Homo-oligomer: A and B are copies of this chain.
């Protein structure tokens, strides 16, 4: 019944907040991650949050950065709510002391290729690779 509810987040007004960092050497990254988990759990404006650690790409390409943090908001206004939230400001003050360098990008995402949510009905057979 649900009809085609969400085909993906294709230009639906979402807003993303991306941070890539290199932590200082003596930092216990797990503590920071815990803090981030708590932060996003406490602030409803954050729709979703994922992070990752690059352990593999060439140093020349990642340029010392090791961690990616990506938050998704339903709309830009929700990001503004997050930014001005006292708990975020509190966390940011701590965060700024543990990073060696950081790049931050905020942007409305454009989803070009949508992940298939399930097997497509009646997908036309294509010639399999040899």
Contact = CB atoms under 8 A, between A and B. Distances in A.
A48 B16 contact: no
Contact of A112 (B6, B51, B66, B114): B51
A116 B110 CA distance: 20
A18 interface: yes
Given A61-B102, A65-B103, A102-B61, A52 B118 contact: no
A18 B55 CA distance: 13
Interface string A23-58: 000000000000011001100001111111111110
A49 to B, nearest CB: 4
Contacts of A106: 54, 56-57
Q: Which of A47, A51, A68 has the largest count of B CB atoms less than 10 A from its CB? A: A68
A68 to B, nearest CB: 5
A2 interface: yes
Q: Which of A37, A61, A115 has the largest count of B CB atoms less than 10 A from its CB? A: A115
Contacts of A46: 113
Contacts of A108: 52
